[in-house]
Chains A and B, each alone.
Chain A
């Protein structure tokens, strides 16, 4: 395991924020910037959210919107040499951004664990699957190898790998894609983590296997009552899994709220765009998809004002060119539902119900 350190740029935290007493994980104004030869990349630029035990937060956005960087930031997996991390990450009452890297390492794997997108590159090809799970277990538990092995077999069985006592000695390349993803889930869950971050856990898998894996994550969450963060670009997957939703664009949240209200009454043009871009099996066949024009911006030169303004069809509606000069903040648009847009709420409601929703 590589030694990971953290830039202690965050203000020394004294006490947990009072408004998130019941939240298991609470992230406040997280910023992660990278120094590169081309300039400062603001991958994450002010993200706040809470996750409670037993709940699932879905983070959606296109590639480069900062979803994965956010999750790695929560796990404390950015190296100080390149990354500047600031803000606060509270995990069960403990602040992590300013914490000693050794302390964070003791939490990682035990209290919080991660499932990566590509299990083939996330697992070590030289060691058997069993060895890797055993290592993960023994790092946090003082047990004999034999006991740890028993635990590994038990976990493989739990995630639905057939003949776990044989497969435990298999190498990652001997597993199929779905089986590898299961093995990685077993590895992530071996210490019963209370926070599980799944970064595109099913993107590389076929739909039938995806359904199996999502089912598995859901069952395990029910069993262990963990808090889950589900990062994906697939709105279908989040709709299926998430209780709450965070939509990110260019390193910032543009909409946040309970999944049901974000899907039924989205209040940000980018969310409308995402919904319009995807063909849907549950609706009547549409003639044309409604794409978002242009491409996501470079994170070195994020457009001024609202980062979405060059691609937004409604950028000219608010007066005084405000979309291009002032960055909109998240404002409450419904119960627990927040969106960052300059348009009036009535205006957005009207556009959604009259123009967007009928075409979906």
Chain B
């Protein structure tokens, strides 16, 4: 990493992380089975009556130098996840490993040295800066808290950071209210970068900003990553922004990761129906495409409550492909294609994982009414193509996949709903 020359912060002697760990593809942060349940207490004795399962068992890793994008609707637990990996919240279960060290249950004091390496950029540039402190105090605070004495003094370093993020160093003595939203977000970024962190977690860094300013901040994050070799976890709900900034993307739904893949595969061939629906809902700034409405998949209703999430696959209440197995069995997050992990029994663009289960749930039949026939046909086609390839491969290897396919052919006769035929057709032709 070549960040020494760019940011001249002295070697942190107190740091316990002395292992030399350079090189691409190395895991910087590993999360397994991470859970956060917020208790709901009621009554005089404040007995716990339930829990909001904001994050409910997620696994992923962040590699050095990459950007992991996290998307999902509001309430899917993406922000809670961000706060868990920065340890601003105490996890209920699971582990968070940073550079191979378990930091899941470190105390405040033990966490402090780690705070240099993991920093956060917050969503709202208006509430994340103390209005009574000057910019100099705000951006200089990390040095004071960590007892770091940068070369040339704190003031000089702060001014250098300000110019790195595109602010005028002379603004050192100004207060946050004197800045616009975009400038404040830059101040937040400067503060996050002060101690030369290894991992920056940005929670909706641009969603409060105007489009033109959004582009400035996105470009700034890009430049800083290149210059300082940063690793980002960027949490956002805007799929086009996430595609622009991320190398890999995790899609969350109700506290779970439903799909985790590199950008290219996720956007060209999403495998989870939810990912597909989410992407089809993004309005495209091209009036000529308005006629092509058939691509859109409308989801019914709202995200269910995380207090009592649906059984089995959590998406089965809104999914147009849901079958009995989706209601009873939770699909594991499996790597179906290299670099593409998905938790679905009936993935898109891939062979069916549960081909014997073909009878759609009644909710799925209703949901399918909102999905254009073209979409169903297309997904059936693509899965058919994949299945055909897989069948060839498995014939050679005599793997059980071929049997599955023939089973599916038999099962087709049982399928009654026209929509379900559409879906199952693909798996055996």
Contact = CB atoms under 8 A, between A and B. Distances in A.
Contacts of A282: 284-286, 289
Contacts, number: 129
A50 B223 CA distance: 44
A207 B298 CA distance: 10
Nearest to B242: A279
A277 B214 CA distance: 7
Contact of B211 (A238, A278, A281, A295): A278
Interface stretch (B233-241, B385-393, B396-404): B233-241
Interface in A267-307: 273-282, 285-286, 288-293, 295-296
Contact of A279 (B182, B241, B299): B241
B301 interface: yes
B213 A263 contact: no
Contacts of B210: 62-63, 233, 296
Nearest to B299: A208
Interface stretch (B46-54, B118-126, B273-281): B273-281
A113 interface: no
Contacts of B73: 206-209
Contacts of B299: 208, 211-212
A273 B288 contact: no
Interface in A55-90: 62-63
A39 interface: no
B215 A239 contact: no
Interface in B65-103: 73-74
Interface residues of B, number: 42
A232 B283 CA distance: 13
A152 interface: no
A264 B277 contact: no
A277 B215 contact: yes
A11 to B, nearest CB: 35
B288 A62 contact: no
A285 B210 CA distance: 21
Given A233-B210, A279-B218, A285 B286 contact: no
Contacts of A289: 215, 218-219, 244
Q: Give the one of A236, A259, A285, A289 with max B CB within 10 A.
A: A289
A291 B302 contact: no
Contacts of A280: 240, 284-285
A17 interface: no
Contacts of A170: none
Contacts of A102: none
A275 B287 CA distance: 13
A15 B301 CA distance: 48
A240 B244 contact: no
Contacts of A177: 74
Contacts of A240: 283-284, 287, 290
Nearest to A61: B210
Given A62-B212, A207-B237, A236-B283, A295 B243 contact: no
Nearest to B73: A206
Nearest to A292: B212
Contacts of B183: 295
A281 B290 contact: no
A242 B298 CA distance: 20
A38 to B, nearest CB: 14
Contacts of B294: none
A240 B213 CA distance: 23
A210 B299 CA distance: 11
Contacts of A211: 280-281, 283, 296, 298-299
A275 B285 contact: yes
A16 interface: no
A21 interface: no
B285 A235 contact: yes
Contacts of A162: 301
A255 B215 CA distance: 22
B12 to A, nearest CB: 33
Contacts of B282: 207, 236, 281
B216 interface: yes
Contact of B180 (A242, A281, A288, A295): A295
Nearest to A162: B301
A247 to B, nearest CB: 12
B289 to A, nearest CB: 7
Contact of B278 (A208, A236, A260): A208
Given A263-B286, A296-B210, A208 B215 contact: no
Nearest to B180: A295
B60 interface: no
A285 B244 contact: yes
B421 interface: no
B38 interface: no
A277 B211 contact: yes
A208 B300 CA distance: 9
B117 interface: no
A22 interface: no
Given A162-B301, A236-B282, A208 B277 contact: yes
Nearest to B71: A207
A295 B74 CA distance: 29
A176 to B, nearest CB: 5
A215 interface: yes
23 contacts: A62-B211, A62-B213, A63-B210, A206-B74, A208-B73, A208-B277, A210-B281, A211-B280, A211-B283, A212-B298, A234-B283, A236-B284, A237-B283, A239-B289, A240-B290, A278-B214, A278-B215, A281-B267, A281-B282, A282-B284, A289-B215, A289-B218, A295-B213
Given A207-B239, A277-B212, A280-B284, 18 more contacts: A63-B210, A206-B73, A207-B73, A207-B237, A207-B282, A208-B278, A210-B283, A211-B299, A215-B298, A233-B210, A239-B285, A260-B288, A264-B288, A275-B285, A278-B240, A281-B279, A289-B218, A295-B180
Return the 4 tightest CB-CB contacts between A and B, nearest first. A236-B283, A291-B215, A277-B215, A279-B244
Interface of B: 73-74, 180, 182-183, 210-216, 218-219, 222, 237, 239-241, 243-244, 263, 267, 277-290, 296, 298-299, 301-302
Interface of A: 62-63, 162, 176-179, 206-212, 214-215, 233-240, 242, 259-260, 263-264, 273-282, 285-286, 288-293, 295-296
